[in-house]
Amino acid sequence: MPGWLTLDRRAHGDGGAMGHRAGQVGDAVVVGIVGVLWYALPDVVESRRARALLKAALLVGGGAYAWWREESVAASEAAASDGADVREAPQALRAAPSPGSIAAHVAGGPAVSPAALGLPVDADGRFLTGSDRSALRYAAAAAGIIVPVLVESAVHRCGVGLAARGVRAPHTRVALVMGPLGAVATSLAQARRARP
């Protein structure tokens, strides 16, 4: 892995801020590339079945990258807090997944829980019903599913419309907007999350 993408705090003299920022840039780049590939596929691959398989591969690859990033960050944070070198004790870090990581969710049961979606839950993981914000949170969870589907449909219709007008490589043109837009959205979300 290139040094500029490392998340190891010791690799940079600034306490790891450079490595963390480089990881965030890497995340935005991956989202942008996957977005361009995703939306440009109809111009490159005619078979719907082949496109579905390639999109599934993109999802798996993106998920694998997200898992790797999460585990790398958790390992770096554990090493920084313990003062231990990640490279000296790789088995100890792999023995038990860090709490809240994807691996911990998979090992502990369903990966998507009400708490993971940000819905109000009690200590047993059951939905809270008396919360004033519960309706808002349920609506936000539903919007998190519905809005991406609507956006995906609108983007595809845009490409189809461009194709109907005779524009060359219409889906690729849309992809060259959507990929960078996804990268910018990822960067903004990470910057917002990093604020105290």
pLDDT in tens, the chain (196 residues): 333 333 333 333 444 555 566 678 888 899 999 999 999 999 999 999 999 999 999 989 988 888 888 888 777 777 776 655 545 555 544 555 555 555 554 455 444 566 666 666 666 666 666 555 667 777 888 888 899 889 989 999 999 999 999 999 999 999 999 999 999 988 888 888 777 6
The Cα–Cα gap between 116 and 100 comes to 9
- If asked whether residues 45 and 102 sit together in one domain, one would say yes
Please indicate, yes or no, whether residues 60 and 120 belong to a single structural domain of this protein: no
Looking at the fold, whether 154 and 69 belong to one and the same domain comes out as no
| 120 and 48 inside one domain | no
Block residue for tokens 């960078």: 180
**Together in a domain, 46 and 79:** yes
The boundaries of the domain holding residue 54 are 3-111+168-194
What number of other Cβ atoms are within 10 A of residue 193's Cβ?
Answer: 8
How confident is the model at residue 140, as a pLDDT? 82
Give the closest residue to 145 by CA, choosing from 177, 112, 176, 122: 112
- The H-or-E segment that residue 179 falls in is helix 170-194
What distances in angstroms separate CA 157 from CA 151, 154, 164, 174, one per listed residue? 10, 5, 10, 10
Q: Check whether residue 155 and residue 97 sit in a common domain.
A: no
Report the domain count for the chain. Answer: 2
Q: Which amino acid is at 63?
A: G
For residues 105 and 116, state if they share a domain: no
**Residue 43: predicted pLDDT:** 94
First CA to last CA distance, the chain: 30
Residues 176 and 101 in one domain: yes
Residues 44 and 139 in one domain: no
Could you tell me if 122 and 154 lie in one domain? yes
Instruction: Specify whether 123 is located in the same domain as 175.
Output: no
What pTM was computed for the model?
0.60
Q: What is the pLDDT of residue 176?
A: 95
pLDDT of the residue at 186: 87
Q: Are residues 82 and 103 in the same domain?
A: yes
Look up residue 62 and give its two tokens: 């993106």
